[in-house]
Structure 1
Amino acid sequence: LTELVPLYQDPRSTIPASQFNMKWVEPAGLVKFDFLGLKTLTVLDRARGYLERRGAARDWNSLPLDDARTYELMASGQTVGVFQLESQGMRDTLRKMRCGSIEEITALISLYRPGPMEMIDTYIDRKFGRAEVDYLHPSLKEVLTETYGVIIYQEQVMKIAQILAGYSLGEADLLRRAMGKKKKEEMDFQRLRFVKGAAEKAVPEAQSGSIFDLVAKFAGYGFNKSHAAAYALISFQTGWLKANQPVEFFAASMSLDLSNTDKLAVFYQDAKRFDVPVLAPDINRSSADFDVAWDDDKGAVLYALGAIRNVGLEAMKHVIEVRETGGRFADIFDFLERVDPRSVNKRALEGLAKAGAFDSIHPNRRQLLEQADVLMAYCQSVAAERASSQVSLFGGDQAHAARPRLKSVEPWVGPERLDHELSAVGFYLSGHPLDEMTSALKRKRVTFVAEAIPLAESGHEAFQMAGVVRRKQERASARTGEKFAFVTFSDPTGEFECLFPPEQLRKCREVLEPGASVMVRVRAKSSEGEVRFFGDDASQMDNLLDDANIGLRIHVSARSADAEALKARLERARSGAIGKGGEVSLMIAGLEQGREVEVKIPGRYRLDGALRGALKSAPGVVMLEDA
């Protein structure tokens, strides 16, 4: 290095670097290598670790390359998280191409780039016999058979020059470089050389000239096959993992995106499609990172404590170390007495509480959040006492006499509980705000996305759907400058994206705010195995709840019902507008002689998810029933 190129010392590195860029280091006499750090290799490595724990580890390099499940997965386009194959456009192409071999995956990865992309449809049509395969010249059939006559790889360019024009390997490599750089004088020289060499092999000048021009056109885009094949193998390995061991696939994939809640939400929805449970974080079961649990041959992903917002991976590693050393946490005070407040601060405690990580030892999330200052003060005092090695004067049960008494507060219920969970996790994990509204929505002929997709694939086009707005992205049309929007909705069965054209967006913009519960009328279009939704109209869900035809029966037990608790909950949902809201009645069971009485409650009420969740948590409530 010191002999051939000027160097400089980057202060952030211990390795000297060339002052020449990659274009000039080779003429100076160096060889350039690219070393790519692929996180996919780490995904595969972590998945192997999970599989080893249950004796199911595989050697990735000895997987059967004819695995039917893997190719079925790719043909379905369900390749979120599969290396090189997860973009929407790539998934659409996979459905059309229906790859059946590692060679076809290699070709797809090479074709799916600017330039050669225009040949994808030609390749597919020739593969399925819809177009005739053209090998350019009979002598080139062997070189182009694998790619149905389409020039894809740099190696093919070199081989064509050798066979058709008598190039040596060294000359063929110079031709490849010349075609990639597109220098006119060099290309003119190579054209003369190619035509002359082809003439010596009895190929007419007109034919060899046109072949040279065609080769030159695609050589500029040509991909190095050995590079593409290495990528294709990793694509196959991650595809095999997802198709055959989806639990370990999702745990490993989520682990590599631990701090990216948007990507975690995508994996969570995809895991639901693959029937892989993702269990909510639990301080006594979860790890700092994503993990896998197997019970009775049923696997699940354990959500990472370190993936909760404002918590931190290192802090959670400390918590896991404490748990593994001293056993499971008995209650919230046991947790506070054992952890270091320098690792688990107030923000971390609040995040864990909102995410539901303490539910197994203290289910009242609201109590923990609202009294976090008191709890952290206790944690710090215990830590200070531990640090000073003072021993309590009190023995036995009196050792915890200093534990603070927490004020009694009503726990969060329904949407309020889930909204706090959303702020900590980034998406709905343990439930959905519309869960309590399912029967009312069904009565309004609302179709959830899990049902809408197969219906759309079978030809249905118009749907009434509902969801909570997760995000809205407005963009300007390149042609007209008018704004349109992509809006992502979440319903109890999954998420769906809906495109609102300019006219519809102007009409619905105020309704489509993140966090809003919305009824949306859509048109669905199914093409190449992909369903897309287009918004026609949207309205607030309150409009549904104000429908006079909706009513609610609250079934309660006469022995355990608390009239005051029910009254307080209903008062918060009383509708102030005349004629708005639904009617409510009590169905009281367990009276003398087994009688049941229905009592109609005066007034009208907003029968939304918040009220339903609050009512379900009231003492003595057995069930709710839409009337």
Structure 2
Amino acid sequence: GYSLGGADLLRRAMGKKIAEEMAKERPKFEKGAMENGVDKKKANQVFDLLEKFANYGFNKSHAAAYAVVSYQTGWLKANHPVEFMAAAMNCDMHLTDKLNVFHQEVKRLGIEVIPPCVNRSEALFSVKDGKVVYALGGLKNVGAEAMRLITDARLEGGEFQDLFDFARRVDLKRVGKRPMEMLARAGGFDQLDGNRRKCLESVDGLVAYSAATHEDRNSAQGGLFGDAGEALPAPRLPMPEDWLPNERLGQEHTAIGFYLSGHPLDDYAGALKRKNVLTLAELEQKAAGGTVMAKIAGSVAGKQERKSARGNRFAFVQLSDPTGLYEVTVFSEALEKFRDLLEPGQNVVLSVKAELEADQLKLLVQGVQAVDKTVADAASLGLRVFVSDETALASIATRLREVSSNTEIRGRGPVHLVLTHPSLPGEVEMALPDEYPLNPQVKGALKHIAGVQTVEEF
């Protein structure tokens, strides 16, 4: 006996899952049903079904379709995980936060990611040899269409040999200066020149050279043998020292939106362990046994401040460590005290109360400290530097000379060079005569030198 308007009110109450409105509709439903010859008991049974459906319900065809899609999706991920993850990343290619979540899932599945590269990547995410190849179009402020100019040129003429070959074959004016800068920051030119800072500072010169080359080629004023544009002299590019590891990662984060090739806390692992600072993975295991107080390190990715009903400010802060992403809650007192340390890009150590609620880790911040301050007195006893190219020795000496004058680094220790070369009978280790200020940043700076294979603590 509902009117069209009355029926729409019932529909709206069901669709919006408004319990109070549904309760108001029950007497109307019962009365109308009895007026139409339906007894009260049967009317109540029917309305109970409507009420149950209002909590969360689908019609059967809708539910069946969802079930089929869910099964197909699960089957694809289980049986073709690499292709599935690449396709998922293409669906949300311009949503950095989602790409970061997908990247963490790819790591969890043990799938290798090939970083963005003008000689290996496509405009979209792709798969090669069981690995996900990061999309050139997945960088921030970079369009897939502009990146197809690069992939089309590579398809036509083969891999690019150097930066000048790249500029001659791709019309960089059409690609744009901003996308070129993002490619440089993300390491897209690493195969052509491993100095990312040089690549970034060379963008203006390369774009101008590319424009002149293409203009010359299109003017039909080339040489007798059709070598238009090839004879133009290459510009002189700047030759700056490359960024130190943390700045290099910071530039990569600017272009990609998260850390892909490493993490700012990688070089701090040993020192943090000596200070009993847990990783996210370790804290999750510990919290499974009950509420714990612990320390965890992280690089701040984002912060949202809110105001409670009482007018107190609090914040949700997103961080990451080498094992994953996590979020913490910071109440007003801690927020007021540590706000400056909780800005994006800061590397910090948090004292937290951790507990699992419905399999989700809840973290409440009690204290915050800069990571360098935490590990200031936890330097390694010494560093062992593995060198495969003698040209690295001069750079190692320069870096050690620079840190020797740094009075802020408290810990000092020995440095051993381990020479590895096919001409040697084996590894040759020798200790340098002095002791040097040592901390995770020094370790990272040495590891970044060309010709250094790795750096170990001892």
The bucket for the TM-score relative to the shorter chain is: 0.7 to 0.9
Mapped partners of 2:25, 2:107: distance in 1:
53
Aligned position for 1:583: 412
1:470-619 maps to which residues of 2 (within 5 A)? 470-478=301-309, 480-547=310-377, 550-553=380-383, 555=385, 560=390, 565-566=395-396, 568-570=398-400, 573=403, 580-588=409-417, 596-601=430-435, 604=437, 607-609=439-441, 611-618=442-449
1:387 partner amino acid: N
1:256 aligned residue = 91
Q: What is the one-letter code of the residue matched to 1:450?
A: A
Q: Distance in 1 between matches of 2:74 and 2:121?
A: 27
Asked if structure 1 preserves the Cα contact closer than 8 Å seen for 2:76 and 2:84, the reply is: yes
Distance 1:292 1:542, change over 3 A: same
2:65 is matched by which residue type in structure 1?
A: A
**Bigger CA radius of gyration:** 1
Q: Is the 8 A contact 1:556 1:586 kept in 2?
A: no
Report the alpha carbon displacement of residue 429 of structure 1 after superposing the two structures with TM. 0.7
- Contact 1:555 1:587 survives alignment (8 Å): yes
Paired residues of 1:315 and 1:343 also in contact (CA < 8 A): yes
Cα offset for 1:471?
A: 0.8
Change (3 A) 1:317 1:548: closer
Shift in Å, 1:181: 12
Cα-Cα RMSD? 3.6
Output one character per residue of 1:207-250: Cα deviation in whole Å (capped at 9) or x when no partner.
Answer: 44653553454465574413333233323322332333222221
Instruction: Please give the alpha-carbon distance, in whole angstroms, between the structure 2 residues aligned to 1:558 and 1:373.
Output: 35
User: Structure 2 CA distance, aligned partners of 1:552 and 1:394?
Assistant: 62
CA distance in 2, matches of 1:285, 1:599: 45
Matched, 1:626 2:457: yes
1:231 aligns to what? 66
Correspondence for 1:390 among 213, 216, 221: 221
Gaps in structure 1 of 5+ consecutive residues:
1-22, 28-110, 119-178, 199-204
- Name the CA distance, whole Å, in 1 between partners of 2:369 and 2:86: 38
2:176 to 345, 348, 357: 345
Shift of 1:444: 1.9
- Aligned counterparts of 1:559 and 1:222: Cα–Cα separation in 2: 66
Number of the residue aligned with 1:442: 273
Query: Cα deviations across residues 137-175 of structure 1 (Å, max 9, x unaligned)?
Result: xxxxxxxxxxxxxxxxxxxxxxxxxxxxxxxxxxxxxxx
**CA displacement at 1:391 relative to structure 2:** 2.2
- CA deviation after TM superposition for structure 1 residue 193, in Å: 4.3
Q: How far 1:318 sits from its partner (Å)?
A: 1.9
1:187 aligns with 2:33: no
Compute the displacement of 1:421 (Å).
Answer: 0.7
Verify the 8 A CA contact 2:354 2:363 in the aligned structure 1. Answer: yes
Residue in structure 2 matched with residue 137 of structure 1 by the alignment? none
User: What do residues 322-370 of structure 1 show as CA deviations (whole Å, max 9, x unaligned)?
Assistant: 2112222122211111112342122221111111111122211111111
Equivalent position amino acid for 2:431 in 1:
V
8 Å Cα contact 2:275-2:378 kept in structure 1? no
Tell whether the 8 Å contact from 1:588 to 1:596 is kept in structure 2 after alignment: yes
Q: Deviations over 1:300-341 (max 9, x none)?
A: 221111111232111112221221122221222111111123
Q: In 2 relative to 1, CA 210–189 (structure 1 residues): closer, same or farther, beyond 3 Å?
A: closer
Cα distance in 1 for residues equivalent to 2:31 and 2:82: 57
Consecutive unaligned residues in structure 2, runs of 5 or more: 9-13, 420-427
* TM superposition score normalised by structure 1: 0.63
Alignment deviations for residues 444-470 of structure 1 (CA, whole Å, 9 cap, x no partner): 222211233233224472332111111
Secondary structure of the structure 1 residue equivalent to 2:145: helix
Output aligned runs, 1:306-345, within 5 Å. Answer: 306-345=137-176
> Separation in 2 of the partners of 1:540 and 1:115?
48
Aligned residue pairs, count: 441
* Higher alpha-carbon deviation: 376-385 or 483-492: 483-492
In structure 2, the residue corresponding to 1:409 is in which secondary structure? coil
Rounded to whole Å, the distance in 1 between the matches of 2:379 and 2:115 is: 37
How far apart in 1 are the matches of 2:282 and 2:257?
Answer: 25
Aligned mates of 1:374, 1:244 — CA distance in 2: 47
Contact map agreement 2:388 2:453 (CA 8 A) in 1: no
Per-residue deviation, 1:553: 2.7
CA spacing shift, 1:408–1:217, aligned 2, 3 Å: closer
Whole-angstrom distance in 2 between the partners of 1:491 and 1:371: 32
Q: How has the CA–CA distance of structure 1 residues 325 and 565 changed in structure 2, closer, same or farther, with 3 Å as cutoff?
A: closer
The C-alpha deviation readout for 1:393-424, integer Å capped at 9, x for no partner, is: 7999x955612232322222311111111111
The percent of aligned pairs where both chains have the same amino acid is 38
Cα distance in structure 2, aligned partners of 1:274 and 1:558: 33
